Structure 1
Amino acid sequence: MIEQRAPGKLYIAGEYAVVDPGQPAVIVAVDRYLTVQLSEGSEMGRVRSSAYGRTPLVWMRDDASDRIVLEHQPYDYVFAAISAVEQLRSERGLAPRYYDLDISSELDDVSGRKFGLGSSAAVTVAVVAALNEFYGLALTDSERFKLALLATIEVAPTASGGDLAAITFGGWIRYASPDRGALRTHRAAHGIGATLDSRAQWAGSSVTRLPDPDGLQLLVGWTGSPASTERLVEQVRTSEKRQPLQPYPEFIDDSRVCVDELVEAFARGGAGATAVIARARRMLQRLSTSSGITIETPQLEALCDIAERHGAAGKPSGAGGGDCGIVLAGADLATDPIVREWEANDIRRLSLAPHAASGGIDAF
Structure 2
Amino acid sequence: MITVQAPGKLYIAGEYAVLEQNCPAILVAVNEFVRVSISQSKGTSGLIHSKQYSQDSVHWVRQGNKMVIDNRDNPFEYILSAIKFTEQYCLEQAIELSVYDLHVNSDLDSADGKKYGLGSSAAVTVATVKAILKYYNIEASNDLIYKLSAISHYTVQGNGSAGDIAASVYGGWLAYQTFDKKWLTNELKHKKLSTVLQEAWPGLKIQLLTPPAGMDLLIGWSQQPASTSQLVDQTNAKKKSIKTQYEDFLEKSRQCVLSMIEGFNSGNISLIKQQIRVNRQILKEFASLNHIAIEIPKLTKLIDIAEKFAGAAKTSGAGNGDCGIVITDSTSNINELKNLWRENGIMPLNFKVHSISH
Question: TM-score with structure 2 length normalisation?
Answer: 0.90
Residue identity (%): 37
Deviations 1:65-106 (A, max 9, x none): xxxxxxxx9961000100010111111211011111111111
* Structure 2 Cα separation of the partners of residues 240 and 98 of structure 1: 45
**Deviations 1:205-237 (CA, angstroms, capped at 9, x unpaired):** 010110122231100000111111111112122
**Alignment match, 2:91:** 90
Q: CA RMSD in A?
A: 2.0
Distance 1:74 1:319 in 2: 19
2:318 aligns with: 319
Q: Which residue of 1 aligns with 2:204?
A: 205
Selected match of 2:259 from 253, 258, 261? 261
Structure 2 residue 183 is the aligned partner of structure 1 residue 185: no
CA distance in 2, matches of 1:205, 1:107: 26
1:159-178 to structure 2, matched below 5 A, reads 159-178=160-179
Aligned partners of 2:153 and 2:357: how far apart in 1?
A: 22
CA contact (8 A) 1:241 1:291 kept: no
**What letter corresponds to residue 29 of structure 2 in structure 1?**
A
- The answer for the alignment partner of 2:125 in structure 1 is 124
One-letter identity of the residue aligned with 2:22: G
Which residue identity does 1:239 align to in structure 2?
Answer: K
Tell me the equivalent position of 2:20: 20
Amino acid in the other structure paired with 1:162:
G
CA shift, 1:306, in A, is 1.1
Report the 3-state secondary structure (helix = DSSP H, G, I; strand = E; otherwise coil) of the residue aligned with 2:270. Answer: coil
Q: For residue 232 of structure 1, what is the aligned residue in structure 2?
A: 231
Match of 2:195 in 1: 194
- Alignment check: 8 A CA contact 2:117 2:226 kept: yes
Q: Unpaired segments of 5 or more residues in structure 2?
A: 57-73
TM-score by length of 1: 0.89
Residue 302 of structure 2 corresponds to which residue in structure 1?
303
Aligned residues of 2:146 and 2:166 also touching (Cα < 8 A): yes
Whole-angstrom distance in 2 between the partners of 1:329 and 1:84: 41
Residues 276 and 312 in structure 2, CA contact (< 8 A), matched pair in contact too: yes
Q: How many equivalent residue pairs?
A: 339
The equivalent residue for 1:150 is 151
Counterparts of 1:195 and 1:340, CA distance in 2: 50
How far apart, CA to CA, are the structure 2 residues paired with 1:158 and 1:28?
Answer: 20
How far 1:286 sits from its partner (Å)?
0.4
Relative to structure 1, is the Cα distance of residues 241 and 84 closer, same or farther in structure 2, using a 3 angstrom cutoff?
A: closer
1:68 is aligned to: none
Q: What is the rounded CA distance, in whole Å, between the counterparts of 1:216 and 1:74 in structure 2? A: 34
Greater CA drift, 100-109 or 178-187: 178-187
User: Is there any run of 5+ residues in structure 1 with no aligned partner, and where?
Assistant: 56-72, 360-364
